[in-house]
A and B are shown apart, each in its own frame.
Chain A
Amino acid sequence: MPPVSAEPLVATDLACRRGDRLLFENLSFQVEPGGALHLEGPNGSGKSSLLRLLAGLLTPAGGSIAGGGARGFLGHDVALKPRMRLIAELSHWARFDYGIDRLPAAMAAMNVIALADLPCQHLSSGQRRRAGLARVLASGADLWLLDEPTAGLDTASAALLATAMAAHRAAGGMIVTAVHGDIGLADPQRLRLG
């Protein structure tokens, strides 16, 4: 579980440029510990780019980002090597996050324990997504940055995710997510792009 001491995430006057195109500018928001921010907007409006800014993968064209603590990022690509067994992949990342003792609980929460010994190339896209979410859970990160986390998930798995997100927020964690539609976040702030 994340430490409750995480600073609130504060974004001030953010601007993002991809190539020649200005995706957004003068974007300001704040997410308190325990809070959640739901990014909305049409395709190409900059939701994924905003998540990548918050994850430190892109440099903002203007403005600043402060606080938020350690990041757990799940993008469109789940970064699982096809020939490795799932448990080896998740253990590798958990070692990075000093979270090897959190891993079993995280895997149980996303229902991937039965898949542990399969090579990742045999996982379906929903199973890969669940594994990616288990990695975020095990990371112990304060701020979860989830890009379309429910893409490819069945209803049962989406419910598992909703439970995990509620537990994360109850422990003082923060969530920023880009989704179309509802993913079971209780009372999120909403930010409309585009």
Chain B
Amino acid sequence: MFLTLVRRDLALIARSPALWMPVMFFVMVAALFPFAVGPDARLLGRIAPGVVWVAALLAALLPVETLVAPDLEDGTLDQLASRGVAMEIVAAARIVAHWLGFTVPLLAALPIAAILVGMDVATGQRLALALLIGTPALAALAVVAAALTAGLRGGGALAGLIILPLALPILIFGVGAAVPGALKLLAAASLVAVAIAPFAAAAAMKQD
């Protein structure tokens, strides 16, 4: 059942016209930074991981309005609930699908972004690993915020305000991936977020 839900969510993401938007956004942000801070290669190299992380965070946030709200409005959640499917499972499946839907293209676009901000290969590889560990948490937080704001007008902006402070630990440990032990802390923070998120999102998705 879980796999059916994930497959279905991925099929919907694949059909969505907004599929490439987060990745385009990610690359655009990475491309903008050299213009903004100037062509100082040393400075760019130093802030590059931070730039990529912020871009990834924003990319995870971009589709937040389409994560839960449409299912609430068109009766999909009703259909699932009337079949006795736990909302926790629905939320967990949504997190997995959202993560796959934005991380895979993101990692594919990472080399391009890395070149744009002048990152060397070793840093790029470390960053890819950190992204792989940290992005599940971003997906989880996005789904929680989407569930909390579903049905509200202008929910997307509010979702951003909910996620950004919660994403701080991920950002801090993700950017500091070069420091020994940071990856482990990143993994811990990510695990906590992913473990709690399905329950938090489900509590918001249950209507009464």
A75 touching B78 by the CB < 8 A rule?
yes
How many inter-chain residue pairs (CB < 8 Å) link A and B?
Answer: 59
A84 touching B1 by the CB < 8 A rule?
no
The residue of chain B having its C-beta at the shortest distance from the C-beta of A83 within the complex is B15
The residue of chain B having its C-beta at the shortest distance from the C-beta of A135 within the complex is B79
> Is chain B's interface secondary structure helix, strand, loop, or mixed overall?
helix
Cβ 8 A contact of B79, one of A58, A70, A79, A84: A79
A84 touching B11 by the CB < 8 A rule?
yes
A79 touching B15 by the CB < 8 A rule?
no
Range of interface residues on A (Cβ < 8 Å):
20 to 34
A84 touching B12 by the CB < 8 A rule?
yes
Does residue B76 face the partner (Cβ distance < 8 Å to A)? Answer: yes
A56 touching B82 by the CB < 8 A rule?
yes
Q: A56-B84, A81-B76 are in contact. List 19 more A-B contacts (CB 8 A).
A: A55-B78, A55-B81, A57-B78, A57-B207, A58-B207, A59-B208, A72-B82, A73-B82, A75-B78, A79-B74, A79-B76, A79-B79, A81-B74, A83-B12, A83-B16, A84-B15, A92-B4, A96-B4, A145-B82
B-side residues, CB < 8 A to A, are 1, 4, 8, 11-12, 15-16, 70, 73-76, 78-79, 81-85, 207-208
A-side residues, CB < 8 A to B, are 52, 55-59, 70-73, 75-81, 83-84, 88, 92-93, 95-97, 135, 139, 145
